[in-house]
Amino acid sequence: MNTMFCLVSRQAMANVIPVLMYKPNKVLLFATPEEKKTANHLEKLFVSNNIDVRRVDNLDAYDYLKFKDCILDEINKATVDVVLNVTGGTKLMALAAYEAFAEKDKHIIYCNTDRNQIIHLFPKLSTEKLNLSVSINDYLQSYGYKVVASRTKEVKKEYFDLFELIELNNIKLPFAKFLDDYRSQTGSENPLKTYVDKKNKIFTIQKTPTSIILLVNNIKFKFDDEKFLKGDWLEYFMLYSLKKQNIKPEVGVKIISTSNVENEIDIIFIKDYQLYLISCKSGKNTDPNKNIYEIETLRNIAGGTFGKAFLFTVKDLTDRMKQRASDLKIETLTFARITHKEFT
């Protein structure tokens, strides 16, 4: 495959997947003024993957005949094999491009992510399974973002050992309550050197000059500081759950846009060519309204129409908040009800 024609739309992955899967020598990007930013992001991504790019900009999405003539002109100028990816663009652009390619008896494909396949529409109908691993960086770059920081490499085996222990002993809820009480009663300065679970006698936290010790039924877990115990633990529990589902996420991710706008995402991963964003909220004093709007903003910016957003909390949201989340197309998960099958 030498040259692929791509119709640019805000659903960037509609073009990213076929281009990175087939790796043509050259890509022609056809874009309206409204999609110039997306075309810029795609061009940068493809060039970084050693694919030549040429742009055809300022197209009128609703002038059918003019756009068809534009496609025919580019086909006639081509000296190599060409293929049309008809997945993007407006419906009218797609129809015009399809008709032009069909008249010239040229190859036409469509990317169907719902069924994980490429449909070869013309000249002969057939399907091909998607065979591509899209990285988080490539996905985000297609929307104008890049990862600038991640805490994934900071994950320690002890975190997972702790979670295995609390699940084995069925003490998830006492564990969450103990840490919530510890945070609220010790504050940010934490003057206490020892904090004991007086009710259940299960947990004890001991502060030393160099570390924090958590005892669970006298089994010792050592931490460098209090960040894990005062909130980060919920993010790492989701990481633990996802790994049980054979998913490789990133945790504590900071992304930055081409306009230098920064956002932080607690958990991010890709499954079936969709981006998943999870916001983890462990404290009972956080504002759930704010949480939902924050994750919705991230879903719109980084995920586009291919993204899925989740709010993961220790306690159940109220019915009113669940409805608001549903209205915003945000799914909710709670610590007590995690089964490690949510994303399988």
DSSP for 205-251, written as a single string: EEE-SS-EEEEETTEEEEESSSTIIIIIHHHHHHHHHHHHTT---EE
Check which CATH number belongs to the domain holding 260 and give it.
3.40.1350.10
Look at the block and give the residue holding tokens 């909390």.
313
The pLDDT value recorded for residue 1 is: 67
- Largest separation between any pair of C-alpha atoms in the chain: 81
The pLDDT value recorded for residue 84 is: 99
* In a domain? residue 344: no
Where would I find the H helices in 78-128? 91-103
Cα separation, 255 vs 253, whole angstroms: 6
* In a domain? residue 235: no
Closest CA to 276 of 306, 252, 246, 243: 306
Say whether both 256 and 207 belong to one domain. no
Cα separation, 237 vs 88, whole angstroms: 38
The pLDDT value recorded for residue 149 is: 95
* DSSP letter assigned to residue 316: P
3, two tokens: 């040259």
Asked if residues 18 and 85 have their Cβ atoms less than 8 Å apart, the reply is: yes
Q: Which of 230, 253, 268 is the last residue of a domain?
A: 230
Helix, strand or coil for residue 315? coil
Give the H/E segment covering residue 13. helix 13-22
The pLDDT value recorded for residue 154 is: 87
The pLDDT value recorded for residue 284 is: 54
Phi, psi torsion values for 70, nearest 5 degrees? -60, -45
Q: Which residues pair with 262 in a beta bridge?
A: 256
Cα separation, 94 vs 56, whole angstroms: 15
Q: Which of 206, 230, 254 is the last residue of a domain?
A: 230
Look at the block and give the residue holding tokens 């050259």.
26
The pLDDT value recorded for residue 303 is: 61
Q: Which of 175, 204, 230 is the last residue of a domain?
A: 230
* In a domain? residue 138: no
- With helix as H, strand as E and coil as C, how does 292-306 read? HHHHHHHHHHHHHHH
* In a domain? residue 142: no
Domain ranges, residue 311:
148-152+242-337
* In a domain? residue 304: yes
**Integer angstrom CA distances of residue 263 from 143, 165, 252:** 13, 33, 11
Cα separation, 166 vs 219, whole angstroms: 11
Q: What angle do CA 167, 185, 228 make, to 5 degrees?
A: 45
Say whether both 166 and 265 belong to one domain. no
Cβ neighbours of residue 249 under 8 Å, at least 6 residues apart? 152, 238, 239, 242, 267, 268, 269, 276
Say whether both 218 and 250 belong to one domain. no
Helix, strand or coil for residue 157? helix
Say whether both 18 and 64 belong to one domain. yes
Which pTM value belongs to this model?
Answer: 0.89
Say whether both 28 and 111 belong to one domain. yes
Closest CA to 42 of 202, 210, 258: 258
Cα separation, 216 vs 273, whole angstroms: 40
The pLDDT value recorded for residue 20 is: 97
Axis crossing angle, helix 91-103 with helix 64-77, rounded to the nearest 10: 40
* In a domain? residue 331: yes
Cα separation, 232 vs 251, whole angstroms: 10
The pLDDT value recorded for residue 326 is: 85
Say whether both 183 and 281 belong to one domain. no
* In a domain? residue 76: yes
Say whether both 186 and 118 belong to one domain. no
What is the signed CA dihedral for 164, 166, 170, 176, rounded to 10 degrees?
Answer: -130
Say whether both 187 and 279 belong to one domain. no
Say whether both 224 and 267 belong to one domain. no
Phi, psi torsion values for 226, nearest 5 degrees? -95, 0
Cα separation, 326 vs 330, whole angstroms: 5
Helix, strand or coil for residue 288? helix
The pLDDT value recorded for residue 192 is: 61
Asked if residues 268 and 280 have their Cβ atoms less than 8 Å apart, the reply is: no
* pLDDT, averaged in runs of 10, over the chain (344 residues): 93 95 98 96 97 98 97 96 97 97 98 95 97 93 92 92 97 94 73 77 91 94 91 95 96 90 90 91 70 73 72 88 84 94 94
- Please count the structural domains in the chain: 3
* In a domain? residue 191: yes
